[in-house]
Amino acid sequence: MNEDAPVFAIAMAAELAGMHPQTLRQYDRLGLVSPRRTSGQSRRYSMRDVAQLREVARLGGEGVSLEGIRRVLELENHVAALQLRVRELESALADELLKRSGRRIFAAGESGDVISLIAGTRARKNTQLVVWRPQNQ
């Protein structure tokens, strides 16, 4: 199920969040959780909205004011949007690097160091033999 799909009516969302429906209406008016609306203007909550309602309850239980909760949620949503954008940019960059001719290839060395390779070559394998014998024998 898509966690952003607006599927829950206010009564079900309130039950899932462990709150009273009137509390959800109040949070909507304050902008803490803004559900989508149907054509008849009924509220429809998604799983993401329910999770956010639970976060509001958790923060309120820790003594954070409603304005503080609004700011925390705003910042968390901003961070999530930025993380999504970073993933999109990383993907676009990786695609672009793969399209380039003469691209650089890297391998990991035994100690975790990065080894730069020329395209079409392989990393040298370590062929040394190491014999270990316990000192007590």
- Among candidates 6, 11, 75, which has minimal Cα distance to 44? 6
Q: What is the pLDDT of residues 83-127, one digit of tens each?
A: 999 999 999 988 887 776 655 666 777 777 777 766 666 666 666
Please give the model's pTM, rounded to 2 decimal places. 0.61
- What are the two backbone dihedrals, phi and then psi, of residue 115, each rounded to the nearest 5 degrees? -115, 125
Is 10-99 in CATH node 1.10.1660.10? Answer: yes
CA distance 75 to 88: 20
* Residue 24 main-chain phi, psi, to 5 deg: -65, -40
Residue 28 confidence (pLDDT)? 92
Exposed, middle or buried by CB within 10 Å (0-12, 13-18, 19+), for 134? exposed
Reported as a single tens digit per residue, the pLDDT across 25-53 is: 999 999 899 899 988 989 999 999 999 99
What residues does each domain of the chain span? 10-99
How far apart CA 68 and CA 60 sit, in angstroms, is 9
The CA distance from 49 to 21, in Å, is 14
